[in-house]
A and B are shown apart, each in its own frame.
Chain A
Amino acid sequence: MMENNRSRLVVSLDDLRTWDALRTQRSNGTEVIRETRNLLNNPMEHLPALDKALRDTVVKIDSTYPAAVKTDFVRPFLSFSTSFLVAYALSQHVALDGSFGAHALNPRTLSARYLGKLVSVEGIVTRCTAASLLQKVFL
């Protein structure tokens, strides 16, 4: 990621599972690490932590790397709020791949019981439209 000056790191859930098992083994069973399960069941709390961990790791390796350098270039052309959004989009994030287990779904199996969970949905896109933000105007 850093060599290619990219901002997204692909993390395999299989690697995370291996690490969970290693950590549990290392603690001689006194501590059971279930970060993969936590990430799948409670992504709202765990995904930002993983992103933050990635940013911390990147800064530890190369403190000059953060994407703020890129936003400095575009900032004069954008409003403050837009540059903030661009800075967030360009900062380092994590993408997940690997085995999602029971959380690997298709549009037919996607149901309300997966609300708030991390899922992988596989299907064929037959039609798509541009997403636009709902804008409210107060007069």
Chain B
Amino acid sequence: MSVNGDGGDAGRHARYEDENIRIRNYTDFLESDVQPHHSKTKDTNPLCGAF
């Protein structure tokens, strides 16, 4: 059922999918060598040693 024009279950599912895609994208970024590499050179980012 649609509440406040949100598209109901379909809209909710789409938003959930979007959220999952965002989280997956950012997880890829955090696990990539782009961010920790930069941090090592700056030596200010404490997570760099964790990877």
- The residues of A with any CB-CB pair to B shorter than 8 Å are 1-4, 6, 9-12, 14-16, 18-19, 22-23, 33, 35, 45-46, 49-50, 52-54, 56-57, 61-62
Q: Please classify the interface of chain A as helix (H, G, I), strand (E, B), loop, or mixed, using the class held by over half of its residues.
A: helix
Chain B residues near A6 (CB, 8 Å)?
A: 46
User: Shortest Cβ distance from A38 into chain B, in angstroms?
Assistant: 8
Instruction: Kindly state the separation between the CA atoms of A50 and B22 in the bound complex, as whole angstroms.
Output: 8
Instruction: Kindly state the separation between the CA atoms of A53 and B23 in the bound complex, as whole angstroms.
Output: 5
Q: Please classify the interface of chain B as helix (H, G, I), strand (E, B), loop, or mixed, using the class held by over half of its residues.
A: helix
Instruction: Kindly state the separation between the CA atoms of A61 and B47 in the bound complex, as whole angstroms.
Output: 11
Q: Is the CB of A18 within 8 A of B34?
A: yes
We find that the number of chain B residues with CB closer than 8 angstroms to chain A is 25
Given A16-B29, A45-B22, the answer on whether A2 and B34 have CB atoms closer than 8 Å is no
Instruction: Kindly state the separation between the CA atoms of A50 and B21 in the bound complex, as whole angstroms.
Output: 11
Instruction: Kindly state the separation between the CA atoms of A14 and B31 in the bound complex, as whole angstroms.
Output: 16
